Amino acid sequence: MNVDSSEVLVNVQATPNPNAWKYILNRPVLNEGKATYSSADEAAHNTLARSLFEIPGIRQVHFFQNVITVTYYFDVDAENLHANVISVIQTRMPAHNPNQTQKDEKKKARESLSPELQQIEEILDRTVRPGLQGDGGDITVLKLEDNKLYVYYEGACGTCQSATTGTLMAIESILRDEFSPQIEVLPIG
């Protein structure tokens, strides 16, 4: 295992979700894709994510590029949480493997998706995901049935009230304009 001994720099930024913060690093957390963990058990194979769940009050951990988004319970002391998260990042990151991805049997390669879902993914990639990812979150398309698109919010978006109101309406509006006027977008989880 390679251990990088150079200093891990962390920039903390707020997200639109009052219970989620972005920790932007000076190195990649994931070289490819994204990973969301909702428990220490889900993060068992990833030392960095698992170590973050050892901090009391952590609700979800989301990795994307050089960003770690931590969602926490409303009654947690944010100042103490920040100090603990930064400490874990700085001590675990030098040994972290950015090529390690989350095991998730539900995810399919885009090539295996139906043409309709591929079109929806392209629309979301172009219009919605950049904003969500900029706020420390993301969206996963689960399925399309009878003009109902089922999605799962990740990272800061997972517990953000605007994700189920304004953001959801914006996504639905974009997809109605660019995909189908009858589509309805429903969040799961």
DSSP β-bridge partners for residue 153? 139
The CATH number for 34's domain is: 3.30.1370.70
What's the CA gap between 189 and 182, in Å, rounded? 23
Number of Cβ within a 10 Å radius of residue 30: 20
Supply 5's token pair: 């001994």
Do 74 and 130 belong to one domain?
no
Q: Which of 65, 95, 125 is the last residue of a domain?
A: 95
Read off the DSSP letter of residue 112. Answer: G
Structural domain count, the chain: 2
Is residue 101 one of the residues assigned to a domain? no
Burial of 79 (0-12, 13-18, 19+ CB in 10 A): exposed
Is residue 103 one of the residues assigned to a domain? no
Do 114 and 46 belong to one domain?
no
> What is the mean pLDDT of each successive set of 10 residues along the chain, which is 189 residues long?
67 88 93 86 91 94 91 88 94 89 49 87 86 81 93 77 77 93 91
Is residue 19 one of the residues assigned to a domain? yes
Do 38 and 77 belong to one domain?
yes
Supply 122's token pair: 């392209």
Do 126 and 55 belong to one domain?
no
Residue 173, amino acid? S
Supply 185's token pair: 């977008």
Residues in contact with 95: Cβ distance below 8 Å, sequence separation at least 6, in sequence order: 1, 3, 4, 47
Q: Which of 95, 129, 153 is the last residue of a domain?
A: 95
What's the CA gap between 26 and 74, in Å, rounded? 28
pTM of the predicted model over 0.75? no
What is the reported pLDDT for 29? 93
The residue segments making up the domain with residue 31 are: 10-95
CB 102 within 8 A of CB 35: yes
